Structure 1
């Protein structure tokens, strides 16, 4: 069932003879956390692209929850908290987008002295597995821990935490980030300092194999993201600004594409998102306060969309992450910073044309969060 309407059609009698606009249905929920805050906020996205806060979706976490990921299958949201006690906070997503905490799971690999801090969480599209990455280790490198998810979406650690790469620890990733393949059979970890991406098998019980191989790539790679068909994987390469691009074999092995990273002048990406049809990729420019759009070719190569880059807010707010709605018709961008007069993070939206180009929707919505580096989107309908 669809979520409640933001604005419903009203009779002429109720409006003094004026006929109201057509209903503006809520289609998606966007959740945002802040590195300098200790709570999550939720926002409804409507068919017109308008944004509004969701009552009941402002909930507490520990300080500095930097990663949010959902299980669309189980209607749960996972927030990773590091201070004071590392844990994963699990929330039930209500029909109206409100959040209810159903579990707080302590992280086992963080209990030993000198262990790296948890910095990222990912959830399999099948809703059966979860992974948490840790870093940096005092001697460099990082770890990844596999989890199973029960019928309610509660995680249980499985097997040993694995080094994030087969490279020597001092040259491995101090800031690893992970993503599951669409079929949930592999999890991949981007390695910030070395630029590689390691692949791990996901076992039936949720535990992970040692790293199978590491494919080289551009330095400072973050936010690895798959096309829906699982044929290509992309990363935001902050060190050599651009978009890293990889072909995925039937076995799950990666091969970097010729021309990668794809880098228009001035692009410094952070988060990236891909349309549900697999044809378009969007990358916010953290320094240019704009958003780049690309067409994804049949071979995985990227070509800029007409009119790119698309302007955001004029002030230096650092466009950080963006999300395409479930029907592929709108894009929501989350700024990392605010302005001197309004220091909190702001969300804005765009309409996506048939050719993938963007048209800015007027207005936006402000949060009470500081440093919004964690966000995610969830369809309002199953």
Structure 2
């Protein structure tokens, strides 16, 4: 049995005092489902939330700590789940890796700056720690079906990917990660984009764009375009669109979740092929099961740090493109969050930093 420790127990989504989704509550059932893990310790600043989590998921048996560093030193867990706000991810991931854990499963987005994201990946690689991020939609049947259809040539040769969501960093990390998967994990080569900050907008303590456009060029010639903001879906017509030489594949938030368009023909996919739609919560559990199996078998998990870092690089390159007003060739070497710097510089005078 792997010993698991969780940092950030939170509260259930939309309950009194909750400041987020309480994503550790989506991790815990996955550890139980794996049949190979025991949650032995919890860490959170709030004793009450820890106690409630302990009762709900650990039969009250997990030991509780308000200092995660003390927990890591005392418990020496095999696996650590991190479900805190993004600006804490790097510190906690690096601390866990240096404490000797075997695997770390962290919430997305990776970090509040690109430099932090790179350091997280580097430290875990140096210490042989398996690092995964909760881009759980890779496990949903709808995206797996879409990937299979594209690979089988259902739309001919893939030429372009388009997507729409509310912002680049918090939500866009999911959709750009899906671009990576649907495009066969082809490496991004360059990014060009523009973002707006029309009103103060933070998600879990990190500044986000209110509107944006992110254009990505991949090594296989495919282009990706992500539009963000309140009206982004009108620009794209769906959540994600894969355009090929012989047809178009559309993924929608509401059923039918997959539409295959070829000429005047429209095929709508439902049932097992699209179970859970684009947001099924069970994917969080399957993601944890996958990382546990990968740790046991020495295989590469589906939500490995490699694709998470590629996704994060695109996001920060788009912000950097807005700062430099030009195309950004990868690899990206900056350490900061360019949008934070732009706002602080007064680049968006209609808003207060």
Q: Which protein is richer in helix relative to its size?
A: 2
- After TM superposition, the score normalised by the length of structure 1 is 0.29
**Higher relative contact order (Cα pairs below 8 Å, separated by 6+ residues):** 2
- After TM superposition, the score normalised by the length of structure 2 is 0.31
